[in-house]
Amino acid sequence: MAKLAVAGIKEFLQVVQQSKSAYASIFIKYYGDHDDQGCSWCPDCVKAEPVIDQVFNELKGNVLLISCAVGDRPKWKDQENEFRKHEMIKLNSIPTLSEWGTDRALIEEDCRDENLVRQFFRLQ
- What is the value of pTM for the model shown? 0.94
Q: How far apart are CA 34 and CA 71, in angstroms?
A: 9
Q: What is the mean pLDDT of residues 10-37?
A: 94
Q: How many CB atoms lie within 10 A of CB 26?
A: 21
Closest CA to 91 of 72, 111, 76: 76
Note the pLDDT tens digit of each residue in 36-88: 888 899 999 999 999 999 999 999 889 999 999 999 999 999 999 999 999 99
Closest CA to 99 of 89, 112, 108, 109: 89
Q: What is the mean pLDDT of residues 19-45?
A: 93
Length reported for the chain: 124
Tell me, yes or no, if 42 is annotated catalytic. Answer: yes
The one catalytic residue among 39, 45, 68, 111: 45
The one catalytic residue among 39, 42, 68, 111: 42
Q: How far apart are CA 123 and CA 78, in angstroms?
A: 36
